[in-house]
Amino acid sequence: MKNKVMKETINVLKSMKGMDEMNTTEIQFYITDADGFILELRIGIDEDGETYKHFNQYDSAEELDEFREEESDEIPENTLLN
């Protein structure tokens, strides 16, 4: 099943590749395993035009929620968190 989820994700991203109307500056992924472990991946472009990649890991959704509460001042307005 894990390969199916990854393949579908890649297909969706490929289909979005030509969306020129969006000025995308950051993409975030949350990958969750069957045990609740969460890997957060953020890929973006900073103010200088440099690409960055940030990884975080959490043992549970509760730990991720705690991190979000602590860092809520850094999250821009109108950001959708799933």
14 occurs within a structural domain = no
| pLDDT tens digits, 27-50 | 999 999 889 999 999 999 999 999
Kindly report the pTM of this predicted structure.
0.68
Domain for residue 57, yes or no? yes
Total of domains in the chain: 1
How confident is the model over 2-21, as pLDDT tens digits? 689 889 989 988 888 777 67
The Cα–Cα gap between 7 and 78 comes to 29
Domain enclosing residue 63, as ranges:
21-74
Which strand ranges, in their side-by-side order, compose the sheet holding 51-58? Answer: 26-32, 38-45, 51-58
